[in-house]
Amino acid sequence: MSYDWSVVWRHADLLWEGTKVTIFLAVTTMIIAVPGGIVLALMRLSGIRILAAASATFVEFFRNLPLILVIYTAYYILPVATGLRFSPIATAIVALSLNVSAYNGETFRAGIASIRKGQSEAGYALGMSRTRVMFEIVLPQAVRRVLPVLASTWVSLFKDTSLVSVISVGDLAFESMRVRSQTFRVLEMLTAMAVIYWLLGYPQAKLVDWINKRYRVNE
Protein backbone atom coordinates (compact mmCIF):
# COMPACT_ATOMS: atom_id res chain seq x y z
CA MET A 1 0.00 0.00 0.00
CA SER A 2 1.34 3.38 -0.94
CA TYR A 3 0.73 6.58 0.92
CA ASP A 4 0.13 9.96 -0.60
CA TRP A 5 0.71 12.55 2.10
CA SER A 6 0.46 15.38 -0.40
CA VAL A 7 -3.31 15.07 -0.04
CA VAL A 8 -2.92 16.73 3.36
CA TRP A 9 -0.98 19.71 1.99
CA ARG A 10 -3.29 20.09 -0.97
CA HIS A 11 -6.23 20.45 1.37
CA ALA A 12 -4.45 22.45 4.04
CA ASP A 13 -6.79 25.40 3.53
CA LEU A 14 -9.84 23.24 4.31
CA LEU A 15 -8.17 21.82 7.38
CA TRP A 16 -7.29 25.35 8.51
CA GLU A 17 -10.90 26.47 8.02
CA GLY A 18 -12.07 23.45 10.01
CA THR A 19 -9.57 24.15 12.78
CA LYS A 20 -10.85 27.71 13.10
CA VAL A 21 -14.42 26.45 13.37
CA THR A 22 -13.39 23.93 16.04
CA ILE A 23 -11.70 26.64 18.10
CA PHE A 24 -14.66 28.97 17.60
CA LEU A 25 -17.11 26.29 18.77
CA ALA A 26 -15.11 25.49 21.90
CA VAL A 27 -14.51 29.12 22.85
CA THR A 28 -18.11 30.23 22.24
CA THR A 29 -19.51 27.25 24.12
CA MET A 30 -17.32 27.95 27.15
CA ILE A 31 -18.20 31.66 27.09
CA ILE A 32 -21.85 30.64 27.37
CA ALA A 33 -21.41 27.63 29.64
CA VAL A 34 -19.36 29.26 32.41
CA PRO A 35 -22.00 31.89 33.31
CA GLY A 36 -24.59 29.20 32.53
CA GLY A 37 -23.01 26.88 35.06
CA ILE A 38 -22.81 29.62 37.69
CA VAL A 39 -26.49 30.46 37.20
CA LEU A 40 -27.43 26.77 37.50
CA ALA A 41 -25.36 26.41 40.70
CA LEU A 42 -26.85 29.57 42.24
CA MET A 43 -30.36 28.37 41.37
CA ARG A 44 -29.62 24.99 42.93
CA LEU A 45 -28.32 26.60 46.12
CA SER A 46 -30.86 29.45 46.25
CA GLY A 47 -33.09 27.71 48.78
CA ILE A 48 -36.03 28.52 46.51
CA ARG A 49 -37.57 25.16 45.80
CA ILE A 50 -38.81 25.74 42.27
CA LEU A 51 -35.48 27.20 41.11
CA ALA A 52 -33.52 24.40 42.75
CA ALA A 53 -35.76 21.76 41.15
CA ALA A 54 -35.53 23.40 37.72
CA SER A 55 -31.74 23.50 37.96
CA ALA A 56 -31.48 19.91 39.17
CA THR A 57 -33.74 18.69 36.37
CA PHE A 58 -31.76 20.57 33.74
CA VAL A 59 -28.43 19.27 35.02
CA GLU A 60 -29.52 15.64 35.37
CA PHE A 61 -31.22 15.70 31.96
CA PHE A 62 -28.35 17.05 29.92
CA ARG A 63 -25.57 15.42 31.90
CA ASN A 64 -26.98 11.97 31.35
CA LEU A 65 -27.82 12.14 27.66
CA PRO A 66 -25.17 11.33 25.07
CA LEU A 67 -24.02 14.58 23.50
CA ILE A 68 -24.54 13.22 20.01
CA LEU A 69 -28.20 12.60 20.80
CA VAL A 70 -28.61 16.21 22.00
CA ILE A 71 -26.97 17.43 18.80
CA TYR A 72 -29.22 15.30 16.58
CA THR A 73 -32.32 16.29 18.53
CA ALA A 74 -31.49 19.98 18.36
CA TYR A 75 -30.90 19.70 14.63
CA TYR A 76 -33.73 17.46 13.43
CA ILE A 77 -36.50 17.59 15.99
CA LEU A 78 -36.42 21.09 17.49
CA PRO A 79 -37.10 22.91 14.20
CA VAL A 80 -40.10 20.65 13.55
CA ALA A 81 -41.36 20.98 17.12
CA THR A 82 -40.83 24.72 17.52
CA GLY A 83 -40.79 26.08 13.99
CA LEU A 84 -37.43 27.73 14.69
CA ARG A 85 -34.60 26.93 12.36
CA PHE A 86 -31.04 27.76 13.34
CA SER A 87 -27.95 27.41 11.21
CA PRO A 88 -26.00 24.19 11.84
CA ILE A 89 -23.30 26.10 13.72
CA ALA A 90 -25.83 27.86 15.98
CA THR A 91 -27.51 24.51 16.62
CA ALA A 92 -24.13 23.03 17.48
CA ILE A 93 -23.39 25.81 19.96
CA VAL A 94 -26.81 25.39 21.60
CA ALA A 95 -26.32 21.64 22.00
CA LEU A 96 -22.76 21.94 23.30
CA SER A 97 -23.72 24.77 25.67
CA LEU A 98 -26.60 22.76 27.16
CA ASN A 99 -24.28 19.84 27.82
CA VAL A 100 -21.30 21.81 29.17
CA SER A 101 -23.50 24.16 31.25
CA ALA A 102 -24.90 21.08 33.00
CA TYR A 103 -21.38 19.88 33.82
CA ASN A 104 -20.23 23.34 34.88
CA GLY A 105 -23.32 23.69 37.08
CA GLU A 106 -22.24 20.67 39.08
CA THR A 107 -18.65 21.88 39.15
CA PHE A 108 -19.58 25.29 40.55
CA ARG A 109 -22.03 23.78 42.99
CA ALA A 110 -19.30 21.56 44.42
CA GLY A 111 -16.91 24.51 44.47
CA ILE A 112 -19.32 26.75 46.35
CA ALA A 113 -20.14 23.97 48.80
CA SER A 114 -16.43 23.46 49.48
CA ILE A 115 -15.97 26.97 50.87
CA ARG A 116 -16.33 26.59 54.62
CA LYS A 117 -19.24 28.17 56.47
CA GLY A 118 -16.98 30.43 58.52
CA GLN A 119 -16.15 32.44 55.40
CA SER A 120 -19.79 33.38 54.82
CA GLU A 121 -20.20 34.01 58.53
CA ALA A 122 -17.27 36.43 58.48
CA GLY A 123 -19.05 38.32 55.69
CA TYR A 124 -22.39 38.30 57.50
CA ALA A 125 -20.70 39.46 60.71
CA LEU A 126 -19.55 42.56 58.83
CA GLY A 127 -23.18 43.20 57.90
CA MET A 128 -22.94 42.06 54.28
CA SER A 129 -26.03 40.95 52.38
CA ARG A 130 -26.37 37.35 51.16
CA THR A 131 -25.78 38.49 47.59
CA ARG A 132 -22.60 40.34 48.47
CA VAL A 133 -21.30 37.43 50.53
CA MET A 134 -21.90 35.12 47.55
CA PHE A 135 -20.35 37.35 44.90
CA GLU A 136 -17.54 38.94 46.89
CA ILE A 137 -16.54 36.21 49.32
CA VAL A 138 -17.70 32.74 48.29
CA LEU A 139 -17.77 32.73 44.49
CA PRO A 140 -14.28 34.17 43.89
CA GLN A 141 -12.83 31.44 46.12
CA ALA A 142 -15.04 28.74 44.58
CA VAL A 143 -14.04 29.70 41.04
CA ARG A 144 -10.36 29.48 41.91
CA ARG A 145 -10.87 26.15 43.55
CA VAL A 146 -12.65 24.65 40.52
CA LEU A 147 -10.32 26.12 37.87
CA PRO A 148 -8.55 22.78 37.36
CA VAL A 149 -11.91 21.06 36.83
CA LEU A 150 -13.04 23.77 34.41
CA ALA A 151 -9.78 23.37 32.54
CA SER A 152 -10.36 19.62 32.22
CA THR A 153 -13.89 20.27 30.99
CA TRP A 154 -12.40 22.63 28.44
CA VAL A 155 -10.01 19.97 27.11
CA SER A 156 -12.88 17.47 26.84
CA LEU A 157 -15.07 20.03 25.15
CA PHE A 158 -12.36 20.82 22.64
CA LYS A 159 -12.34 17.21 21.47
CA ASP A 160 -16.10 16.70 21.81
CA THR A 161 -16.78 19.52 19.36
CA SER A 162 -15.88 16.91 16.69
CA LEU A 163 -19.32 15.37 17.30
CA VAL A 164 -21.01 18.33 15.62
CA SER A 165 -19.63 17.13 12.28
CA VAL A 166 -22.69 14.83 12.21
CA ILE A 167 -24.88 17.85 11.46
CA SER A 168 -22.58 19.19 8.73
CA VAL A 169 -20.89 21.89 10.77
CA GLY A 170 -17.60 22.50 8.99
CA ASP A 171 -15.28 21.85 11.90
CA LEU A 172 -11.93 20.11 11.73
CA ALA A 173 -13.46 16.61 11.91
CA PHE A 174 -16.05 17.40 9.24
CA GLU A 175 -13.54 18.90 6.81
CA SER A 176 -11.11 16.03 7.31
CA MET A 177 -13.85 13.51 6.64
CA ARG A 178 -14.95 15.39 3.58
CA VAL A 179 -11.46 15.35 2.10
CA ARG A 180 -11.23 11.68 2.97
CA SER A 181 -14.43 10.81 1.14
CA GLN A 182 -13.41 12.81 -1.90
CA THR A 183 -9.88 11.41 -2.15
CA PHE A 184 -10.26 8.00 -0.46
CA ARG A 185 -7.08 8.80 1.49
CA VAL A 186 -8.37 7.45 4.79
CA LEU A 187 -5.17 6.87 6.70
CA GLU A 188 -3.56 10.12 5.62
CA MET A 189 -6.53 12.25 6.56
CA LEU A 190 -7.18 10.51 9.88
CA THR A 191 -3.52 10.92 10.75
CA ALA A 192 -3.58 14.60 9.80
CA MET A 193 -6.69 15.08 11.91
CA ALA A 194 -5.14 13.28 14.88
CA VAL A 195 -1.96 15.32 14.63
CA ILE A 196 -3.86 18.63 14.54
CA TYR A 197 -6.15 17.73 17.47
CA TRP A 198 -3.17 16.47 19.44
CA LEU A 199 -1.02 19.51 18.74
CA LEU A 200 -3.85 21.78 19.84
CA GLY A 201 -4.84 19.61 22.79
CA TYR A 202 -1.45 18.83 24.31
CA PRO A 203 -0.51 22.43 25.21
CA GLN A 204 -3.95 22.82 26.73
CA ALA A 205 -3.44 19.77 28.91
CA LYS A 206 -0.08 21.22 29.97
CA LEU A 207 -1.83 24.51 30.70
CA VAL A 208 -4.25 22.65 32.95
CA ASP A 209 -1.31 21.25 34.93
CA TRP A 210 0.11 24.74 35.24
CA ILE A 211 -3.23 26.16 36.41
CA ASN A 212 -3.41 23.36 38.95
CA LYS A 213 -0.11 24.47 40.43
CA ARG A 214 -0.57 28.20 40.08
CA TYR A 215 -4.04 28.52 41.55
CA ARG A 216 -3.91 25.93 44.27
CA VAL A 217 -5.94 27.49 47.09
CA ASN A 218 -3.69 28.64 49.89
CA GLU A 219 -5.36 29.10 53.20
Partner 1 sequence: MIETQAKPGRGESGSVPTVSYHEIRKRFGTFEALAGVSMEIYHGEVVCLIGPSGSGKSTLLRCTNGLETMDSGDIKLDGKSMPKDWNGMRGVRQRMGMVFQNFELFPHKTALGNVMAGPIGVLGKPRKEAEQRAMDLLRKVGLVDKAYSYPAQLSGGQQQRVAIARALAMDPEIMLFDEPTSALDPETIGEVLNVMKQLALEGMTMVVVTHEMAFARRVGNWIVVMDRGAIVEQGRPEQIFDAPAKDRTRDFFSHLGWSG
Which stretches of the chain bind partner 1, using CB under 8 A? 118-119, 121-130, 132, 136-137, 140-141, 144, 217-219
Smallest separation, CB 115 to partner 1 (Å): 10
Nearer to partner 1, 80 or 125 (CB): 125
When the beta carbons of 47 and 83 are compared against partner 1, the nearer one is 47
Nearer to partner 1, 141 or 204 (CB): 141
User: What is the C-alpha separation between 211 and 104, in angstroms, rounded?
Assistant: 17
State the nearest-atom distance from the C-beta of 168 to partner 1, in Å: 45
Residue 128 CB, shortest distance to partner 1, in Å, is 6
Q: Taking the complex as a whole, how short is the minimal distance between the CB of residue 66 and partner 1, in angstroms?
A: 38
CA distance 186 to 183: 8
Q: How far is the CB of 144 from partner 1 (least distance, A)?
A: 7
Q: Which is nearer to partner 1, 66 or 140 (CB)?
A: 140
CA dist 41 → 5, 58, 109 (Å): 49, 11, 5
**Smallest Cα–Cα separation from 140: which of 163, 123, 160?**
123
CA distance 103 to 147: 13
Helices 88-114 and 139-160 meet at what angle, rounded to 10? 140
Q: Which residue's CB is nearer to partner 1, number 141 or number 183?
A: 141
Give Cα 149 distance to the centre of its chain. Answer: 12
